[in-house]
Chain A
């Protein structure tokens, strides 16, 4: 069992759970302080985040720009809706690839769990068609992998 749990729920939700060996205060800070965010929210190896704007207050702006250092890049914009320090972040975000993806509403909850933190991130997409589209977007990229697995199955 991997440390990360990722499940779809209902028609429009994706729920991610992960435990961290640090207090909710620290995990919360690592989600809102640009100097910390830029150290970890990077996706694949070899990418970095030259721009990280995070105005952690209701209505505050979010803008993350990623670059692979070879001229490839994409960015994310969003707005904070609600913040409960050390406990909960609610925001909305969208990717620019450069085509803009539909809004993804994200609620992230940090709960004390023994000497660590259980983080639950619940993403809500506008409707089931959008989630279906997002899943379909990944099909082209995942296809090579899927076919390889299919070959291995028979």
Chain B
């Protein structure tokens, strides 16, 4: 599965929320639909996109078809973005302190 497909699947906030919920454990379509103000078919369509992108898997359990996160599916996305996020978070936290020390424009002498 290419990262491009992964990223288009991740581009939607509802789908990211579904993944965040599944990170906590398996859930049925009904359970996944509960927090959203949208029909169950609409949620099912999001689930299909995630499933086609290889990010989640569905198994058959009687009449239920619970979803779960595909193990390792987000590894490629995670590595680099996590490093970038960590570096930027540290930088901008330091920048907060630098800005606090800069004083008001009238006091500044360069």
Contact = CB atoms under 8 A, between A and B. Distances in A.
A30 interface: yes
Contacts, number: 118
Given A139-B76, A142-B75, A154-B71, A25 B99 contact: no
B102 A141 contact: no
B89 interface: yes
B91 A142 contact: no
A118 to B, nearest CB: 12
B34 interface: no
B79 A139 contact: yes
A51 interface: no
B79 A22 contact: no
A142 B78 contact: yes
A149 B82 CA distance: 13
Contacts of B95: 20, 27, 30, 40
A100 interface: no
Contact of B98 (A36, A139, A150): A36
Contact of B99 (A16, A22, A145): A22
A64 B11 CA distance: 32
B80 A21 contact: no
Interface bracket on B: 35 or more
A58 B72 CA distance: 44
Given A8-B7, A40-B98, A153-B71, A140 B87 contact: no
B79 A146 contact: yes
A135 B80 contact: yes
Given A16-B88, A41-B91, A43-B87, A135 B76 contact: yes
B76 A4 contact: no
Interface string B75-101: 111111111111111111011111110
A21 B89 contact: no
A150 B84 CA distance: 20
Given A25-B105, A142-B75, A142-B79, 9 more contacts: A8-B7, A11-B4, A16-B88, A30-B98, A43-B91, A138-B82, A139-B79, A143-B79, A146-B74
14 contacts: A6-B81, A14-B84, A20-B96, A21-B100, A26-B102, A33-B110, A36-B102, A40-B94, A41-B91, A44-B90, A132-B3, A137-B80, A138-B79, A138-B82
